[in-house]
Amino acid sequence: MRISAFETIARIRAQILHVLFELGREDHQFRLRYKGQYLRDAYSLQDYGIVNNSIVRMIPLSKHNDVGGLYSQYGTINNIR
């Protein structure tokens, strides 16, 4: 997934949701967290100082949507343009 430093968190979450949908997890809801702070949809990666190889945590919103080993709750942000 290629991501621009100027993309909003909402757009990045939408891209992740698209991947989850392709994997059959269309009902999954989550929030993103970086350095202990929940990321707000209106802000960009640049606003939070997130650069290549930064680790962003994906937090499920309910136990019903638990990731259950499908993928890690941690992800490294790569390919920031």
pLDDT per residue as tens digits for the range 36-56: 999 999 999 999 999 988 999
pLDDT, position 76 = 58
Question: Tokens 């994906």 appear where?
Answer: 58
**What is the 8-class DSSP label of residue 81?**
-
Of residues 25 and 54, more confidence is placed in 54
- How would DSSP label each residue in 2-65? -B-TTSBHHHHHHHHHHHHHHTT-TT--EEEEETTEEPPTTSBHHHHT--TTEEEEEEES-GGG
Q: Using DSSP, state whether 80 is helix, strand or coil.
A: strand
Which of 37, 24, 8 lies closest to 65, judged by CA?
24
pLDDT, position 71 = 43
Arithmetic mean of pLDDT, 4-24: 91
Q: Please, are residues 36 and 56 in contact by the beta-carbon 8 Å criterion?
A: no
